[in-house]
Amino acid sequence: MTEQKGTVLIVDDTPANLQLLESILHAQGYAVRAAISGPMALKAIRIQSPDLILLDINMPEMNGFEVCRALKADPQFVGIPVIFVSAAVDTADKLRAFEEGGVDYVTKPFQPLEVLARVATHLELKRHRNHLEELVQDRTRELLLTQDAVIYGLGILAEYRDPETGLHIKRTQLYVKLLAEQLRHHASFQGYFDDTTIRLLYHSAPLHDIGKVGVPDHILLKPGKLTEAEFEQMKQHAVYGREVIDRIAAGMHDDSAASFLRLAGDCAYSHHECWNGTGYNGLSGDAIPVAGRLMALADIYDALTSKRVYKPAFSHERTVEIITEGDGRTVPEQFDPAVLQAFMDLQGSFKQISNAYRDEDTASHLSRSAASGLLSETDKNGACHA
């Protein structure tokens, strides 16, 4: 048995032409399908995409040019090579065939060897093109993985300065992604949260605290409430973070990298901004970048549910109560109302992530505190500067 070389769809309203082409191609190991009209051809293509199409031009109801135009308008089928087969020898017809997206033109009455040679050539070209596209996709995937590893590494660099935060990076990444997907169709963010933006937000989230590398250890690791001067210095980590990312962006000449770094810079600078204007740098309302609004809530939730040098870990339930009702330091008015509502709708998923990626010391602290009833108390000596 001859090895099958690919699937060819023949489209022609003349049964004799269909039979002849089918016998020629089948004898050479091609799988052959046939359609006697343009609409039938488009239906057949949608059911099972062929590797190549031999397409007659002069057909009733829908001519070959119209079929090819409809085919090339669909991203799913635009890569299928189309060879026009026609009795027309006029140069204008041939030019139009190529303009409509055809890759070749065979004149009737055709020679079997010529048809076979052209079919083989264009199938081989298609295989090479597909292979190149696979190589590009593989290379792109490798570059993205490398980018993600570098980003994550930079985020971990900040975590090394603040060792008690452990899995903070992973948790906040997942929280931000949850919020973004929940708000995708919200009227306030119409058209903002597409797949690309959500991916960029997810992968830029680890850099939100990169500015901590510029904060002295005696402030960053202080086991108690900061003085006013110390807190002012702590607040600078948002500025330091944006400066670091801006310096990286200045050396980049790639638009996709620039988009990513812009989101990362927004997140680093504005994740401590408050909707009511009481945040680190005084931004309020819509002036706060979207990335910062999402991270602000994710960061607060994670800080409250995690043990820190300056505070105990609170339970998920107590944390939700603090965020939605306030506790004197955290108030609902500091969050974008749409983001706050998304959090309330997603609180079950937040709890699942918190439990799945919980630090060991936080877990043991919660267990001890729950047994002794300490989770109902509020740490009045620690500022929430996670």
User: In this structure, is residue 60 part of a structural domain?
Assistant: yes
386 pLDDT tier (thresholds 50, 70, 90)? very low
pLDDT of 91 higher than 70? yes
241 and 281 together in one domain:
yes
211 and 278 together in one domain:
yes
Alpha carbon distances (Å) from 118 to 104, 110, 307: 8, 11, 70
Cα–Cα distance for residue pair 213/211, rounded to 1 Å = 5
177 and 247 together in one domain:
yes
Q: Is 228 exposed, middle or buried (CB count within 10 Å of its CB: 0-12, 13-18, 19+)?
A: exposed
95 and 188 together in one domain:
no
Q: Which helix (H) or strand (E) holds 265?
A: helix 255-270
Q: 106 by DSSP, 3-state: which?
A: strand
111 and 19 together in one domain:
yes
Cα–Cα distance for residue pair 294/175, rounded to 1 Å = 8
Q: Check residues 138 and 244 and name the one with the higher pLDDT.
A: 244
Average pLDDT over residues 317-345: 95
246 pLDDT tier (thresholds 50, 70, 90)? confident
Of 115, 134, 153, the last residue of a domain is 134
Q: 351 by DSSP, 3-state: which?
A: helix
128 and 225 together in one domain:
no
Q: 264 by DSSP, 3-state: which?
A: helix
Q: Which helix (H) or strand (E) holds 35?
A: strand 31-35
- Could you tell me the two tokens for 85? 């087969």
Q: 105 by DSSP, 3-state: which?
A: strand
185 and 98 together in one domain:
no
Domain count, the chain: 2
| Domain at 226, CATH number | 1.10.3210.10
User: In this structure, is residue 149 part of a structural domain?
Assistant: no
Q: Is 370 exposed, middle or buried (CB count within 10 Å of its CB: 0-12, 13-18, 19+)?
A: exposed
Q: Which of 124, 114, 110 is nearest to 5 (CA)?
A: 124
User: In this structure, is residue 142 part of a structural domain?
Assistant: no
pLDDT of 252 higher than 70? no
Of 85, 117, 134, the last residue of a domain is 134
Full residue range of the structural domain in which residue 241 is found: 162-376
String of DSSP letters for 168-230: HHHHHHHHHHHHHHHTTT-GGGTTT--HHHHHHHHHHGGGTTGGGGGS-HHHHT-SSPPPHHH
126 and 170 together in one domain:
no
Is 2 in contact with 29 (CB distance < 8 Å)? yes
pLDDT in tens, 153-166: 566 666 666 555 55
Cα–Cα distance for residue pair 156/246, rounded to 1 Å = 19
User: In this structure, is residue 1 part of a structural domain?
Assistant: no
User: In this structure, is residue 140 part of a structural domain?
Assistant: no
345 pLDDT tier (thresholds 50, 70, 90)? very high
| Domain at 80, CATH number | 3.40.50.2300
Phi and psi at residue 11, to the nearest 5°: -125, 110
Of 117, 134, 151, the last residue of a domain is 134
String of DSSP letters for 110-157: PPHHHHHHHHHHHHHHHHHHHHHHHHHHHHHHHHHHHHHHHHHHHHHH
Percent of the residues in the chain that have a pLDDT greater than 90, as a whole number: 47
pLDDT at position 256, please? 61
235 and 365 together in one domain:
yes
81 and 188 together in one domain:
no
Sheet containing 82-86, strands listed edge to edge, beginning at the edge strand earlier in sequence: 31-35, 7-11, 52-56, 82-86, 104-107
Spell out the SS3 assignment of 42-55. Answer: HHHHHHCCCCEEEE
315 and 194 together in one domain:
yes
User: In this structure, is residue 176 part of a structural domain?
Assistant: yes
pLDDT of 178 higher than 80? yes
Q: 7 by DSSP, 3-state: which?
A: strand
Q: 93 by DSSP, 3-state: which?
A: helix
pLDDT at position 165, please? 55
User: In this structure, is residue 273 part of a structural domain?
Assistant: yes
Residues in the chain: 386
303 and 360 together in one domain:
yes
pLDDT in tens, 346-378: 999 999 999 998 876 555 544 544 433 333 333
User: In this structure, is residue 362 part of a structural domain?
Assistant: yes
